[in-house]
Structure 1
Amino acid sequence: MAHSYFWFTLFTLTLSSFTSAFTSQHYSDALTKSILFFQGQRSGKLPNNQRAKWRADSALHDGSSANVDLVGGYYDAGDNVKFGLPMAFTTTMLAWSIIEFGDHMKLELANAQAAVRWGSDYLVKAATATPGTLYVQVGEPYSDHRCWERPEDMDTPRNVYKVSAQNPGSDVAAETAAALAAASIVFRDSDPSYSHKLLQTAMNVFDLANKYRGSYSDSLGSVVCPFYCSYSGYNDELLWGAAWIHRASQDPSYISYIQSNGHMMGSDNDDFSFSWDDKHAGTKVLLAKNFIENKLDQFQLYKQHSDNYICSLIPGVPNSQARYTPGGLFYKQGESNLQYVTTSSFLLLTYAKYLASNGGQASCGASMVTSEMLVVQAKKQIDYILGDNPMKMSYMVGFGDKYPTRIHHRGSSVPSVHDHPGRISCDAGHQYFSSGLPNPNVHVGAIVGGPDSNDKYGDDRSNYSESEPATYINAPFVGAVAFFSGQ
């Protein structure tokens, strides 16, 4: 983080001449709210300093059916299941946001660290409760999704699901290893003993992932599919996990591992996708840093792959592949599209940082793309989310004058236990789902799935593809908006 200020000043001239709908105060406000969102997603016993007051304690006996403590962690989106793969990815991205852009977070740094810790505390428990086992889910998803019930009233089965040598889950285990390793960097100075525990646990979980290879989609089947099925397989997570453990530990054996297994990320994987499922692009950028900054030749290939990925996102360059809406939004797919906008914007800014610190550029065929160009492209996407778009609507709840009010989220749409102390059953909650009224609890900071390919957004609770928020949409946004808040 030490070079952050130096490279940031390189962009001041570029960005001051780039007309913007927002000031650094706007971005600071968005940063505060993007982190606050995670408090509304908390599961377990809430602390005294809980700021999202419409929430209360929930799921206080998670894990008891297996005689383990799995209380805590995050609900992934608008439901009440704790899915391990997106939760681990969320934690990795929150940690990476701090690692790269924590210098810009100022007063919000402590809140961002608390958001990471809420995830990493849970993941450590899930990884250490039973030797040789990683607990990867709490909650039976089908019964949960049939109910419209706030988490405080939840009465659907809290089954626990795990991966092990007998039931491998290399994808979810390696992502958990990445999360714990990234978090260990965040807490290295402020809590060295916790940091050490996180890194040691990361190494142990990675060994489980690597030694007993297989996809958790195969081991757990319909419990995780189609909800968070591992479509990209597990090879990307193994390299991602190894890359993070190397960054946290500087242990050369993980470099050897990446060199031996790097062929699993061949050149045919230059897809412009980075998500809770597919880690290819993020791994390339993470590994390219070693070549850009230290000129380690064995990482030159990752610089080329990262250039290919970055170039695919930039309109007008020879290698551009990405689709954009008429209003200029990166459009990957209909379901929860903004998750791809926030992840790609984060990678654009992170890669720009690596390049600018070392006077580098991205090579796009015959064209060279500067770090400033990457920042400008990311800024357009972040500004679109915050309201600079054809609908003139912020897609972050509680930001600006116009934002989604009927989000697909049980806790937000059902009256809070503080306002309605009586229990609201599974079926009784459906009246709130069907209501045309705004949600009674404003889930401040929640970024929804976003508009369609024509920049239209209906603010319809039943259209979950557009109106459901998720932790993995917000996590990379935290880092991206932190960067712009420092202008």
Structure 2
Amino acid sequence: MLRYFLLFSCFVLVVSCKKSLSEINDSQVDAIRINQVGYYPNAPKKAIIIDGSNLKTYSLVDLELNTIVFEGNLTESTTWELAGEQVQIADFSNFSNHGSYRIYVEGLGYSHAFDIADDVLEEPAKATVKALYYQRASTELPEKYAGKWARKAGHPDNEVTYHSSSGKKGTMDGHGGWYDAGDFGKYVVNGAYPLGQMMTFHEQYPNFYKDNSLNIPESGNGISDLLDELKYEMNWLLRMQDDDGGVFFKLTTKRFTGMILPEKAADERFVIGKSTTASLNFAAVAAKSARTFKEVDPAYANSCMLAAIKAYNWAKKNPEVAFKNPEDVVTGEYGDDDFSQEFYWAAAELYLTTAEESYINDLRSTSVNFSFKPGESWANHMHYLGAIALIDHLEDGALKTQLETEIVVAANELLGLTEKTAYFQPISDFQWGSNSDIFNTAMIVATAYRITKKPQYLKTVQEIADYVFGKNATAYSFVTGFGDKTPMYIHHRQSAGDAIKEPVPGFISGGPNNRKQDKDQVTYPENKAPMKAWADQEASYASNEICLNWNSSAVYVLGFLANESN
């Protein structure tokens, strides 16, 4: 009898809920900020209610049943200066049932839809890797692999002129590799560092990106599709090494081209400069490649190891060659005059690959700081990759213990920031590529979780990801193609030059940038809060460009969550 009573009660609840719910009206949808893709069942789940005039309660609505399945009280209103907002918080972390939902606040309306599922971020994780395929230079992208974003080959780069800054004359073969960002340049520093982040993921989770998982031309060859995509870039890096072991800095035109498709860009391209940073970043990722490819292609792995040693030796002989753009070149400079992080990363990877004590001695004599520094990840963050590699591969000992302690201390500092910073993320200084900073902090916290297995680290990484997918002051999901409201006008020549409405999917928009270097060309929000310094405008290279090192950190973090959240 009790069973039938409960069933009748549930029926009454369902009917009453249906009657009490208003029709979905999206006019106020941006006033409820949530992860527009969704949440893992065990993850923190929060929605941010903007300027709600001290509303009292919220409801969680199952979209399939059109019923309220969870209700709760909103927090008291508080001011977030970084966002320039009065907010209330709906915390529904205790709800974990799989399904599709919206938050409903009476007097305000509904949020964007989102899912709760065990695999909720796997599709965007794969898309952030597949986006790199769309950046391939010197090859066509057939519809079979690229879908409606198929295009002709651009920039054969098989006879590239040596710029005088290279110290050489004539031409070289520099074909292949990935376009670095929204432009068509190819840069060693910002090619090697992203490779290092993604190879770190592969070392830790080698079975996540299986063969045939990404639908790229190499799919079906028996090798991880992630490794196949990374090798396309690594092959180009190997071509950028000079005979003396040093590595050229970049392959670009002298000036940026217009917003056109690659096959229409005909300006002459040059191999430009040589530097300590390029050589050390190359040495680090070539040494890492030697380990990564050892089982699948031993001959290739050995060539990478020999190239790494040559590049490192060149850097030791030329330890202070800082790259500066020649007078006639204005493409990306990736400036850096502190080479300690690069020496640290290269020495760590070479030691783990060769087991030669000279490298670990070099590392011990290099001073680095593991407290996170926002901005310019290509200059500030390489040593984290070296430390993570050593933690993952060293036997127990004093150095491993020291590094684990350093990383956990850095992670704890970041956790402290998430507890007092708007939108529960660990940065308060929004610079160029702030979304990359967001993901890079998450990578440090993820490493602390791998070391300690303490749940608070995993939960922090999960909540950091929420920020990028829409729980932020702009109300946009910053990942193209994922979420109800995503960037449509990224600063990306291929997306601008084609006739397709949607941009290439899977790219991370740069994010809020309070410096607004493009403010003379871009209309930013009237609210001048740092977290709102972002514009979905094609001209906004300072806030809405895409870049390899922004995607690579997302590849790591989203892959980590897909593996550790269940």
Secondary structure at the counterpart of residue 443 of structure 1: coil
Larger strand share, 1 or 2: 2
Give the TM-score normalised by the residue count of structure 1.
0.78
The alpha-carbon distance between structure 1 residues 394 and 15, as it changes in their structure 2 partners (threshold 3 A), is closer
Q: Is the 8 Å Cα contact of residues 78 and 409 (structure 1) preserved in structure 2?
A: yes
| Cα distance in 2 for residues equivalent to 1:480 and 1:460 | 27
Amino acid at match of 2:260: E
The alpha-carbon distance between structure 1 residues 252 and 406, as it changes in their structure 2 partners (threshold 3 A), is same
The alpha-carbon distance between structure 1 residues 481 and 22, as it changes in their structure 2 partners (threshold 3 A), is farther
Which of 328, 332, 335 lines up with 1:227 in the alignment? Answer: 332
The answer to whether residue 459 in structure 2 is matched with residue 376 in structure 1 is yes
Deviations 1:203-249 (A, max 9, x none): 1111111221123325x556788833333511210111111122233
| Cα distance in 2 for residues equivalent to 1:50 and 1:125 | 26
Which of 252, 255, 260 lines up with 1:139 in the alignment? Answer: 252
Which residue of 2 is the match for residue 352 of structure 1? 449
Deviations 1:323-357 (A, max 9, x none): 8434646344232211111222122213321334x
| Distance apart, 1:467 and its partner CA | 0.9
Which residue of 1 is the match for residue 226 of structure 2? 112
Which of 273, 277, 282 lines up with 2:379 in the alignment? Answer: 277
| Cα distance in 1 for residues equivalent to 2:359 and 2:391 | 15
Which of 520, 531, 535 lines up with 1:454 in the alignment? Answer: 531
Which residue of 1 is the match for residue 6 of structure 2? none
The count of corresponding residues between Structure 1 and Structure 2 is 423
| Cα distance in 1 for residues equivalent to 2:559 and 2:475 | 22
Which residue of 2 is the match for residue 239 of structure 1? 344
Q: Is the 8 Å Cα contact of residues 101 and 479 (structure 1) preserved in structure 2?
A: no
| Cα distance in 1 for residues equivalent to 2:424 and 2:455 | 22
Which of 547, 550, 554 lines up with 1:470 in the alignment? Answer: 547
Unpaired runs of 5+ in structure 2?
Answer: 1-39, 46-92, 97-114, 162-169, 215-222, 514-529
Q: Is the 8 Å Cα contact of residues 35 and 111 (structure 1) preserved in structure 2?
A: no
| Distance apart, 1:442 and its partner CA | 2.4
Which residue of 2 is the match for residue 64 of structure 1? 160
The alpha-carbon distance between structure 1 residues 200 and 322, as it changes in their structure 2 partners (threshold 3 A), is farther
Amino acid at match of 1:286: I
Which residue of 1 is the match for residue 433 of structure 2? 336
| Cα distance in 2 for residues equivalent to 1:154 and 1:411 | 11
The alpha-carbon distance between structure 1 residues 386 and 71, as it changes in their structure 2 partners (threshold 3 A), is same
Give the TM-score normalised by the residue count of structure 2.
0.68
| Distance apart, 1:122 and its partner CA | 0.5
Secondary structure at the counterpart of residue 276 of structure 1: helix
| Cα distance in 1 for residues equivalent to 2:178 and 2:422 | 32
Secondary structure at the counterpart of residue 468 of structure 1: coil
Give the alignment of 1:202-221 within 5 angstroms: 202-218=308-324, 220=325
Which residue of 2 is the match for residue 54 of structure 1? 150
Unpaired runs of 5+ in structure 1?
Answer: 1-10, 164-168, 357-370, 417-438
| Distance apart, 1:441 and its partner CA | 5.2
Which residue of 2 is the match for residue 424 of structure 1? none
| Distance apart, 1:63 and its partner CA | 4.2
The alpha-carbon distance between structure 1 residues 132 and 103, as it changes in their structure 2 partners (threshold 3 A), is closer
Deviates more, 1:44-53 or 1:455-464: 44-53
Deviations 1:383-427 (A, max 9, x none): 2212344554321111122211011111111126xxxxxxxxxxx
Q: Pairwise CA RMSD of aligned residues?
A: 3.1
| Cα distance in 1 for residues equivalent to 2:344 and 2:389 | 10
Secondary structure at the counterpart of residue 180 of structure 2: coil
The alpha-carbon distance between structure 1 residues 335 and 209, as it changes in their structure 2 partners (threshold 3 A), is same
Amino acid at match of 1:79: D
Amino acid at match of 2:303: K
Q: Is the 8 Å Cα contact of residues 180 and 547 (structure 2) preserved in structure 1?
A: yes
Amino acid at match of 1:470: C
| Cα distance in 1 for residues equivalent to 2:136 and 2:332 | 20
Deviations 1:74-126 (A, max 9, x none): 11110111122111112211211211233333435822112211111111111
Q: Is the 8 Å Cα contact of residues 133 and 162 (structure 1) preserved in structure 2?
A: no
Larger helix share, 1 or 2: 1
The higher radius of gyration belongs to 2
Give the alignment of 1:436-455 within 5 angstroms: 440=501, 442-451=503-512, 453-455=530-532
The alpha-carbon distance between structure 1 residues 461 and 132, as it changes in their structure 2 partners (threshold 3 A), is same
| Distance apart, 1:483 and its partner CA | 2.0
